[in-house]
Amino acid sequence: MVRVQRQFFEIPTVELAEKLLGKLFARVLPDGTVLRGKIVETEAYLGNGDEACHAWRGKTARNSSMFCMPGTIYVYFTYGNHYMLNIVSEPENMAGAVLIRALEPLEGISFMQRQRGINTLTSLMSGPGKLTKAMAIGPECDGRNLFGNEFLIEESPDIPAEQIGTGRRIGISRSLELPWRKFILGNPHVSKGKPS
């Protein structure tokens, strides 16, 4: 597999949310186990003018990773029991990130099934809290990036525009009108509109 280069992440956040669809997200565990999934659903968040974004009111200890270089991983805790995986997208010191909402499992599936305690593939990573549990992603991953040996995004063919759906983001109460959720139409691993 060929990993995407740094410049891939240096595009506007909403555009990146769409460009990430179909790309492969991978994590290499310390024992060498490879966990890999195809990105099938995303949401864009911007610090400027987007009240649903954690960085809307400025930089804090919790959201500081959102202000790092594009390609940084931002992980936060929400709903009282879920970690969420985001990829930082805006230039350094200008907050923005793409939430990875759902992955289609491709490799390391037995590990993911043990992590989740389920076998059904279409439910394994069909939500942002599900995929972080399946891939053992927690707060210790916040601030890492996609350019080392642990996390990476791999190239795959672009998804044709006619196969990409657009909608409102899920599980938020502000800036509801922004159509910044992107997903692959007809893919059974998309979250079906559930917040987790």
Position 114 scores a pLDDT of 97
Can you list the positions of beta strands (E) in the chain?
24-28, 34-46, 73-78, 82-88, 96-107, 151-154, 164-167, 181-184
| Amino acid (1-letter code) at residue 70 | P
Parse the chain into domains and list their residue ranges: 6-158
Closest CA to 127 of 43, 185, 17, 50: 43
CA 26-29-31 angle, 5° bins = 140
How far apart CA 117 and CA 124 sit, in angstroms, is 9
Query: Strand, helix or coil at 117?
Result: coil
For residue 138, what are its two tokens? 């927690």
Which amino acid type is present at position 15? E
- pLDDT for 75-119, tens place per residue? 988 866 789 999 999 888 888 899 999 999 999 999 999 999 999
Q: Return d(Cα 105, Cα 24) in angstroms, integer.
A: 10
| Radius of gyration of the chain measured on its C-alpha atoms | 15
Cα 102 to Cα 171: distance, rounded to the nearest angstrom? 14
pLDDT of residue 196: 45
Q: How far is CA 36 from CA 51, 97, 123, 135, in A?
A: 32, 21, 15, 9
Give CA–CA dist 65/79, Å, rounded. 20
pLDDT in tens, 65-75: 888 899 999 99
User: For residue range 140-177, what is the model confidence (pLDDT) as tens digits?
Assistant: 999 999 999 999 999 999 999 999 999 887 776 676 77
Distance between CA atoms of residues 159 and 72, nearest Å = 23
Strand-pair category, 24-28 with 151-154: antiparallel
187, pLDDT greater than 50: yes
**CATH architecture of the domain with range 6-158:** Roll (3.10)
The amino acid sitting at 60 is: T
pLDDT > 70: what percent of the chain?
90
